[in-house]
Structure 1
Amino acid sequence: MLTGTVLRKQGGVYEVETAEGLRDAVLRGKLKRDDRSGDMVVVGDRVDMDREQAGTDAAWAIMRVHDRSTVLARRAPGKAPRAKVIAANLDQVLIVFAAANPAPHLRMLDRFLVIAADADIRPVIVVNKTDVSGEDEARRTFAPYVAAGYDVLFTAAKRGVGVEDVRGAICGCTSALAGPSGVGKSSLLNAVQPGLGLRVAEISEAVNKGRHTTVTAQLIPLECGGYVADTPGLRELGLWEIDRDQLQFYFPEFEALLGGCRYPTCTHVHEPGCAIQDAAAAGKLDAGRYESYRRMMTGEDEE
């Protein structure tokens, strides 16, 4: 038996890092039967493997998946409601958006932050391509997130700006880089660890959206210690089984106002005497952030 960490999946073969080196493994038995959604084994999973003999070739089979400490998941695209697990056993997620080209979709960022909070995974916001928009403009755009208390890093990967900040954030822990297509996730990782050689692509000028260059998640061992998962770019991001009663606690700027509403069970959407609605109307809370909360609470934000 060997125990290891799943680094990537190619077809039906998993690359697993063990104390004895890299091993390729497949699923067997109940795991294979239950893996219809592809979420039974994902990057970051700790697994037990057993050796099989097939003729003269020695192969490995994954027999057990260890309990996951954290799970980063979203609603799978399509009409059938189910979760799509992105990665497991993460300490943090670096949520990467571009300052421009493509323009930042802040309501999607808000959904990312809620997903991370619900999964108890620390979020770090990375604003890349500040050389395109200008750093001052990027800081104005993302000022509400700084004010809310999030860690926000401003980078320009192609010019090396902020690369040391990203390296410092990911060394020594297990992280994932997630975000829309074309924001420069792979470029950032190439800059953090020169020689990595991840494939990158330019933005499509016709639609101002990125082309997918990372087609499957992979967990990359870092020379400075730890791991980082490079994940495929997302065109949409749906929430999966978020408890709406907990949603108010996933917006840190609400914290000081909670308990100040007229009704103890206030949803902060329609009730009179709501401290959060009043603060948003008075400009004390960012209007866009409050609108994200309102849409999530009412189910309007289901793209």
Structure 2
Amino acid sequence: MSWLDDTDDDDDLAYDESSIRSRPNPKANRPRTKRRPAHADAQIVRVLGVDRGRYTVLADEDGPDERRVLVTRARELRKQPIVNGDRARAVGDLSGDEGTLGRIVGIEDRTSLLRRSADDTDQVERVIVANADQMLIVVAAADPEPRERLVDRYLVAALDAGMRPLLVVTKTDLADPTEFLSHFDGIDLRVFTSAQEAMPLDEIGQAIAGHATVFVGHSGVGKSTLVNALTGSERAIGHVNVVTGRGRHTSSSAVSLRYRGPAGSGWVIDTPGVRSFGLGHVNPAHVLGAFTDLAEVAEDCPRGCTHLPDAPDCAIAEAVASGRLGPGAAARLDSLHRLLTTFQAIERSRLEG
């Protein structure tokens, strides 16, 4: 009888898939894991600059073998922002020799983060610098004209990041900055004034020694000139357009530079010049804190006071109207109102959206 004519019950077993032996796929059966190497041999390095996916870091900081090293990031950190000032854990070839490339495998906890958004309605924050404890704001007395509102925004950003603010007014040989500085009377803000031929380098050096200080300012105010004078670097220096009155951007990304002076050493973090500083990411509760004299008076406000122009019985408005806070208080209150109104509009749009 042909096997095709066989109708025995055993014939069904010949086609039973459960009886077929198959070779297991070791990759398919391997359990998934999120475990990563411990990298116990990782070194702590300081991120000095970022350029197209490559990071310049400082290894053995303040040690006998201090050196600059080029590194990239590990694959597991592809979604982790790594910025200037970060303290990172690095492995691989960290000799710093030409042609070598190490790898960042982790980021240490940050003590501060300086952030900005494209505008006040943008909730996407852009981290600029990590672990700085001071912000030095550079403005010019003229050419270009100083902008009180931009300085107010820097102050709010510094407070939100937990940084101590400092202010340098350059080009005081071109204009008297007294009226501009009156806008900040009563604010806990140390101010330095600088003429083009007489910069107070020793005074500024004493303020930044022992600190990591991020320098911010509008393009063309002399920030890069000041950075070069303090650090001995050769950062490009821009000029103000005579037609538009705007400065040319000379820094494309933040970079950390070592300061060494009579008072000690520190870090100067130079940032690209910006013409706007969005605060869409900032907690509105931090805004009032940037105006220290107004914040002190606000303790007498009724509970739930918004401190806006239409707020009833606002102690700040009453103190300013009476002249108790000095002649510059009205301008500071106007800045506060502008910022708080902006945040109110942002919150309203969120609720409606």
Aligned sequence identity (%): 32
Of 102, 106, 114 in structure 2, the residue corresponding to residue 64 of structure 1 is: 106
Letter of the 2:107 partner, please give it: V
User: CA-to-partner distance for each residue in 1:148-181, whole Å, 9 max, x for gaps?
Assistant: 231111112x312322221221122111101111
Offset at residue 248 of structure 1 (A): 2.4
* Greater shift in the superposed pair: 248-257 or 268-277: 248-257
Partner of 1:114: 156
Residue 220 of structure 2 contacts residue 240 of structure 2 at CA under 8 Å; is this kept in 1? Answer: yes
Partner of 2:239: 202
Of 246, 250, 262 in structure 2, the residue corresponding to residue 213 of structure 1 is: 250
Offset at residue 288 of structure 1 (A): 2.0
Residue 86 of structure 2 contacts residue 110 of structure 2 at CA under 8 Å; is this kept in 1? Answer: yes
Q: Superposed, which structure 2 residues align to 1:80-229 within 5 Å?
A: 81-133=123-175, 137-156=176-195, 158-193=196-231, 195-224=232-261, 225-229=265-269
Normalising by structure 2, what TM-score? 0.77
Structure 2 portions without partners, runs of 5+: 1-41, 347-353
User: CA-to-partner distance for each residue in 1:22-65, whole Å, 9 max, x for gaps?
Assistant: 11001121212x15xxxx11110000111169xx9642111111
SS in 2 for 1:266: coil
Letter of the 2:331 partner, please give it: G
Residue 173 of structure 1 contacts residue 227 of structure 1 at CA under 8 Å; is this kept in 2? Answer: yes
User: CA-to-partner distance for each residue in 1:107-155, whole Å, 9 max, x for gaps?
Assistant: 111011011111111000111111111xxx2123112324323111111
Normalising by structure 1, what TM-score? 0.89
Kindly report structure 1 stretches of 4+ aligned residues shifted beyond 6 Å: 300-303
SS in 1 for 2:318: helix
Partner of 2:335: 292
Structure 1 portions without partners, runs of 5+: none
Residues 211 and 301 of structure 1, relative CA distance in 2, 3 Å threshold: farther
Residues 301 and 162 of structure 1, relative CA distance in 2, 3 Å threshold: farther
Residue 148 of structure 1 contacts residue 252 of structure 1 at CA under 8 Å; is this kept in 2? Answer: yes
When the two chains are superposed, the root-mean-square deviation of aligned CA atoms in Å is 2.3
Residue 156 of structure 2 contacts residue 286 of structure 2 at CA under 8 Å; is this kept in 1? Answer: no
Give yes or no for the alignment of 1:49 onto 2:49.
Answer: no
**Partners of 1:240 and 1:78 in 2: CA distance:** 4
Letter of the 2:191 partner, please give it: V
Q: Which structure has the highest strand share of the two? A: 1
